Amino acid sequence: MELENIVANTVLLKAREGGGGKRKGKSKKWKEILKFPHINQCEDLRRTIDRDYCSLCDKQPVGRLLFRQFCETRPGLESYIQFLDSVAEYEVTPDEKLGEKGKEIMTKYLTPKSPVFITQVGRDLVSQTEEKLLQKPCKELFSACVQSVHDYLRGEPFHEYLDSMYFDRFLQWKWLERQPVTKNTFRQYRVLGKGGFGEVCACQVRATGKMYACKRLEKKRIKKRKGESMALNEKQILEKVNSRFVVNLAYAYETKDALCLVLTIMNGGDLKFHIYNMGNPGFEEERALFYAAEILCGLEDLHHENIVYRDLKPENILLDDYGHIRISDLGLAVKIPEGDLIRGRVGTVGYMAPEVLNNQRYGLSPDYWGLGCLIYEMIEGQSPFRGRKEKVKREEVDRRVLETEEVYSHKFSEEAKSICKMLLTKDAKQRLGCQEEGAAEVKRHPFFRNMNFKRLEAGMLDPPFVPDPRAVYCKDVLDIEQFSTVKGVNLDHTDDDFYSKFSTGSVPIPWQSEMIETECFKELSVFGPHVPSHGPEPKPPSGTAKEGLLRGSSSVSIKTIPRVHPIPRPVLTTTSIQTTEILTLMNKNSSILEVVPEETGFCSPAALNLCMFPRICHSAAVSRSNHCCFGFFFKRNKFLNENTAAFFPSELFCSFCQSQLPSRCQDLPLRSLS
Residues making up the binding site = 224
Helix (H) or strand (E) holding 311: none
**Cα three-residue angle 587-593-595, rounded to 5 degrees:** 65
DSSP state letters, 81-112:
HHHHHHHHHHHTS-GGGHHHHHHHHHHHHSST
Candidates 168, 270, 311, 320; catalytic one: 311
Instruction: Give the phi and the psi of residue 499 in degrees, each rounded to 5.
Output: -65, -40
Task: Give the whole-angstrom CA distance, residue 169 versus residue 146.
Answer: 27
Q: How many alpha carbons lie under 13 Å from residue 652 in its C-beta half-sphere?
A: 23
What lies within 8 Å, CB to CB, of 177 at 6+ separation is 506, 508, 511, 512
Per the annotation, binding residues for ATP are 224
Nearest to 92 by CA among 48, 133, 140, 150: 140
Q: How many alpha carbons lie under 13 Å from residue 167 in its C-beta half-sphere?
A: 22
Respond yes or no: is residue 497 known to be catalytic. Answer: no
Bridge pairing between strands 258-264 and 249-254: antiparallel
Task: Give the whole-angstrom CA distance, residue 671 versus residue 673.
Answer: 7
Contact 463, 317 (CB under 8 A): no
Q: State how far Cα 545 lies from the chain centre.
A: 39
Task: Give the whole-angstrom CA distance, residue 4 versus residue 46.
Answer: 51
Nearest to 583 by CA among 591, 575, 593, 573: 593
Task: Give the whole-angstrom CA distance, residue 474 versus residue 13.
Answer: 13
For the annotated catalytic residues, the residue numbers are 311
